[in-house]
Amino acid sequence: MLTKAIYQIFIYIYVAAAQFAALFNNKAAKWVAGRKNLWNQIDSALPGMATKKRVWVHCASLGEFEQGRPVIEAIKQQYPDVLILLTFFSPSGFEVRKNYPFADAVWYLPADTPGNARRFVETVNPGLVIFVKYEFWFNYLQLLQKNKIPIFLISAVFRPGQFFFRWYGSGFRKMLETYRMIYVQNIKSEQLLQHAKGLQVKTAVAPDTRFDRVQAAALEAKTVITVEQFAAGRQLFICGSTWPQDEQLLARFIQQAPHEVAFVIAPHKIGKMQLSGLVKTLEGTGSILYSEAIGQPDFADVASKYRVLIVDNIGLLLHIYRYGSYAYIGGGFGAGIHNILEAAVFGLPLFFGPRYSKFNEAVYLIGAGGAFSVGSTKELLQQFTRLYDNRTAYLQAASICKSYVEQNAGGTRIILEGLRPYLTPTETAEKQ
C-alpha cells in the first residue's frame, strides 16, 4: 500500500512538473497540449469500432514503437479485422507515428491516475493489451488485471539495478505479476525474473523484434540513384545519425582516410543551423548536399569530384546502407548510440563512440569482432586501416554483423504464437 501511495504522489507531481515545464520547454509543451482534448478524440473515434476486437498497444516513445511495430504489423496481416489502438507516452513517438497506417487510432496515453486509468479502460474496452519494453503503469495494470483483460509485456529487458530487484522493490515486483506473459529479449533478463524474491510470473525469451524489422526493411530497400551515382567505383563509408561531436571526429578522419573511400553523412538533425554547422566542419573535404546533388542532371558525370555526400533528407538512411562498405553510427559521445542493426543487416563492419554499454547488440558485436568503439580520430583510423588493409579481417567482421541479425530473427513469430489464442478467442484462452 505504501508503494502505491508513493507512486500516486509521484504521478501527480510529474503531471504538475510537466505543465510547468511546458512554459519554456517545447517537448513538455507538446506532452501537455497533446492531452488537452484527448478524451474528445477517443470518444469520437470509438463508435465505428464497436463490433470489432480491440488490441491496445502502448509504447513509451519512438524506440519502443520500433520494437512493437513488427508485432503490430504481423497481427494486422494475419488478423485484418482486429483493431489496433496505439498509444504513446512521449511526443517523440506520437508526433512521428500519429498517422501510422497499421493503427486504427493513435493517441497519447492519459496520465496514470486512478481516474484516468478507469475512464480509459472502460471507454476503450480492449480485448488484449500489449505493453512494449519498459512500460509499467501501476493503475492501468491493476485495473486491467481486475477486469481480467490479458496483458503482455514484449521486448522487455531487465537489469539487476532496476527498482524491481532492490530491497524496497516488493511492491513494484507485484506489478509484474499482472502480465499474462513477459517476453524478454535475453536469458539474463529471464533469470533475473525467475530468481527475484517472491515473484511469480510467466516468462519466455523472444529476441528483440527489431531484428525482424530490419530484415524485412532490408529486403524492401529502395534504389537511391544519387547515392548509386556517388558510389560508382568507390567504397562508401556511411555515417548515420551523427551529432556534432561525431562529425568533428569524422572530419579529421576523412582528411586522413584513403582517397578511394567516399563518405555519406546522414546527420541526426537536418535543420538549417545544424546543416550549416556540418558544412563548416567539413570545409575542405569536398562535400555536397543531397538536395543539391539530385538537382544536377549530370551528377553522375561529376560525382567523383566530391568526397562527402551530406544527406539532408529524412527516411533515406536505411536504404543508403545497402551501398556501404563500412558504417559509423552516431550518438556514442552523447546519450548513447543510435540504431546499429539497420547497418549490420547489410553486413557492414561498425564503428561508434564510447557510450554504448546499454545496448546489448553493440556489446555483443564488439565482443564478437564485428563492431569497434572509438574515442578519437586516431582510434577510428587505426581500426579502419586494419580492416581496409586486410581483406580477410574485413570479410570476417562483415560476416559477424550480418550473421548476428540473421541468427536473432524470429522474435515476432514467438510472440505472435503466444498472442494467437487472444486474437482468435478459444475456450482455453478464456480460462487462462
pLDDT tier at 428, thresholds 50, 70, 90: very low
Taken in order 189, 195, 199, 205, the sign of the CA dihedral is positive
Residues 311 and 290 sit within 8 Å (Cβ to Cβ):
yes
DSSP code, position 118 = H
Structure confidence at residue 425 (pLDDT)? 57
Domains identified in the chain and CATH numbers: 2-207+410-431 (3.40.50.11720), 216-407 (3.40.50.2000)
* Contact in structure between 176 and 141 (CB atoms under 8 Å): no
Q: Is residue 172 classed as helix, strand or coil in its secondary structure?
A: helix
Between 6 and 337, the more confident residue is: 337
**What pLDDT band is residue 314 in, cutting at 50, 70 and 90?**
confident
Q: Is the pTM of this model over 0.75?
A: yes
pLDDT in tens, 192-220: 999 888 888 999 999 999 999 999 989 99
Res. 144: pLDDT tops 80: yes
Sign of CA dihedral 217, 222, 224, 229: positive
Residue 5: the pLDDT is 78
Backbone angles phi, psi at 184, to 5 degrees: -100, 155
Cβ-contact 405, 216 below 8 angstroms = no
Over range 252-267, report the average pLDDT: 96
For 301, counting Cβ atoms within 10 Å of its Cβ (0-12 exposed, 13-18 middle, 19+ buried), the class is exposed
